[in-house]
Chain A
Amino acid sequence: EDQVTQSPEALRLQEGESSSLNCSYTVSGLRGLFWYRQDPGKGPEFLFTLYSAGEEKEKERLKATLTKKESFLHITAPKPEDSATYLCAVQGSGDEKTSGSRLTFGEGTQLTVNP
């Protein structure tokens, strides 16, 4: 069974204070690891897909990296508008017929950036 653990559960930063969010995972044959941003009461907004260890992707102040056991979401010089819950999910290459291409999510990291 695929599993995802995110840490910390909550993180408070001052504006401009860089940090990293962690996503540890176990999966049977990784098809992809996904990062989403979710604002309160809204649907998750897609950020990145990572497919293999060593891959990195960047978007504005965010950079996602992937190893064989974990992924990091690095936030450089965050701004208050970066405040949100960040969700990590994995998709494994299990039995397509029974499990489909399901995403298994972690519980998320709630990020608050104070001005």
Chain B
Amino acid sequence: NAGVTQTPKFQVLKTGQSMTLQCAQDMNHNSMYWYRQDPGMGLRLIYYSASEGTTDKGEVPNGYNVSRLNKREFSLRLESAAPSQTSVYFCASSRRGELFFGEGSRLTVL
């Protein structure tokens, strides 16, 4: 019973490099989310997807793009990484207000 799976778990990038964080859920949930959490801070919503084929900006979307590839998968792309994007990224899916989180992806941008 995998739940929400994120890859990679750790990544180090240089400024200006691009990368994609992958997220997949096996609970048949319609809604999926990407959050970031900086050290000692709360979670901030980057993008979310209410259903397959739709995506919407959250609180801090600048510097990111997303793709809802199908009902299971929701990817987050950094086109040109910046040190300010160093953070832990959490993917989640939801059903009836209950969020199910992945283990997180720790990204460091040098």
**A, B co-complexed:** no
Measured CB to CB, the residues of B under 8 A from A are none
Measured CB to CB, the residues of A under 8 A from B are none
